Chains A and B, each alone.
Chain A
Amino acid sequence: MNRPRLITMLAVLGIAVFVLSLLIGPARIGPVTSIEALIAGGNEAAMIIMREIRLPRALLAVLIGFSLGVAGAALQGLLRNPLAEPGIIGISASASLGAVLLFYTGLAGASLLALPAGALTGAALCVLVLLVISAAQASTITLILAGVALASLAGALTSLVLNLSPNPYASYEIIFWLLGSLKDRTMDHVWLVIPLMVVGWAALWASSRTLDALSLGEEGASGLGANIPRARVLVVCGVALCVGAATAVSGAIGFIGLIVPHLVRPLTNRLPSQLLLPAGLGGAALLTIADIVARTIIPDRELNVGVVTALIGAPFFLWLVIRSRRELF
């Protein structure tokens, strides 16, 4: 498909579900009143609901979805592996662990910056470990198994830290950290993630040409003048910023970075650099849709959005593994 057309279609889809997300909520406000309250003011209660509850939620779905899509696409480009995804290979779980370690133990003095700082560090360390493992042994199985091991370890340690907290609510919050939620997020959360994510997107975009060159393998890329160590640093930092910021605010949401690049790749020329923007836009749309489903599928109850993405993503992942058995082994 023609690239401008693809980008336009995905952008339109993203905007459409963004608006739909704004119109859905337990307080039944008509569409006209909602939009009016959002933009112009008017009904006091509607204004507060739209601007302080629905808008941050919808914005975060778009921002986080975009970041996870782009991070997944870039990671796949660097590791040359279509199954690499921040959730599956443990980056989201490590970000959760980092955030939990710094915040619940009071090490960062309960400042709200503790969460993103911890999440970024956790994510970066995990990516580094995976890079070391994949450099020594390039096979897909090794990478996925290492990622699963890291995810399990991070999840277990997160649960441990939460159980050790003297706060009575802490141990219940494990569900948030492992399965993610966008419930009751505020505009403060939005302002917190935007600068981190923008820098992350920039870092990943900067590495994209080298990721293209890596299609020819490390030797081939090197012969084209690619600076591979620099690309590794950019991808590590970019993924850490994107996944870390997202996890700090919404907990671990997985599979976006797997589903979207896979669906979008056949519509591009498959070069990693061409995949980044469509994967981001697709991720924004997918997470927004997942959040809408999480809010509406059970009447009067709300699911964790990570449950919805896992319910779609895990079977999809299984299908991918089975289908590409020949190439993987």
Chain B
Amino acid sequence: MKQFGKRIWTGALAAAGLLVSTGSVLSGPSVASLNVCTDQLAMLLAEPGQLKSVSNLARDPTLSSLHEKALQYPVNKGLAEEVLVAKPDLVVTGTFSLHNTTGLLSRLGFAVEEFAYAQSVETIPADIRRMGRLLEQPARAGAMASRFEHDLAELEPLACSRKPVALFYGARGVALGKGTLAHSAMQAAGFTNMAAERGYEGVAAFPLELLVQDPPDLIILPRPTPGAPALADEILSHPVLKKLKATVTGSFSRPASLSCGGPFTMQAIHELRDLAPSLLPCRKASGS
């Protein structure tokens, strides 16, 4: 008996030794993320110890829905040197960020994968699955993507007297039009995007006068950054917005949920839907 016990212990020690010697990653490559959107997907899908670092923006509450989770990870500023030091097997980043850096990293022999900014809710599951493939976490990614697709399909049209009209209005009179994630989310939630209706695409200057002439049901304003004043905050207290009696104006509770695509985007869509009854007479919306 004693010999059998010894063997088990030796085996266990050997297995433990194997575990320690290959590092804490059991399966899948080590990853460094340089972009706030890839940060969040990576944080959701990576195994403990797989994600070596995330960008410093991941900790910014106005840009990252997972800003608290990001505190666990070391941060990088997107510099090639930091990647060299961390020596990950894979680097994930956005298509529009730091081209010099990504070019340099490729030349130095790192595997670099670029993700485009999500412009539509329909592409989010594909991005989730792709990240899962890259991180070699297919099961987790598959489950997350399927849940997203399910929730999206389950969204019933709002049962309101008419389709509510909304607008994301921001610093210095800028609105989010066609081709932005916010627009896509609004449509999924059953709203009409006032900016897209008028033909505005992307992030575009939207005249205040048009808001007055044909007021939407809902205007979503940015949150002021506490302790850091800027002229951009002036729009929040513009007298005109106060005079629009039939319009609800306010800041979105999750400002970061529409800057990147991920499972949190679905939460944003649900939140928008839940606002509908306060704007128009609606029958209780189901599937939220």
Contacts and interface: CB of A to CB of B under 8 A. Distances in A.
Given A26-B210, A169-B171, A53 B240 contact: yes
Question: What band does the interface of chain B fall in when counting residues whose beta carbon is under 8 Å from A?
Answer: 20 to 34
Interface string A294-313: 00000001100000000000
A45 interface: yes
Question: What band does the interface of chain A fall in when counting residues whose beta carbon is under 8 Å from B?
Answer: 20 to 34
A170 interface: yes
B208 interface: yes
A166 interface: yes
Contacts of A169: 171-172, 230-232
B74 interface: no
Contacts of B243: 48, 52
B227 A106 contact: yes
Contacts of A104: 228-230
A168 B62 CA distance: 9
Nearest to A183: B173
Which among B62, B210, B214, B228 has the greatest number of chain A C-beta atoms within 10 A? B228
Interface string B211-231: 011110000000001011111
A2 interface: no
Contacts of B214: 45
A26 B229 CA distance: 29
Interface in A25-45: 25-27, 29, 45
Interface of B: 62-63, 171-173, 205, 207-210, 212-215, 225, 227-232, 234-235, 238-240, 243-244
A110 B213 CA distance: 32
Given A165-B230, A183-B172, A27 B225 contact: no
A184 B238 contact: yes
Contacts of B63: 168
A167 B227 CA distance: 9
Given A106-B228, A169-B230, 16 more contacts: A48-B243, A52-B240, A52-B243, A104-B229, A165-B228, A165-B230, A166-B227, A167-B229, A168-B62, A168-B63, A168-B225, A169-B232, A170-B230, A170-B232, A173-B231, A184-B173
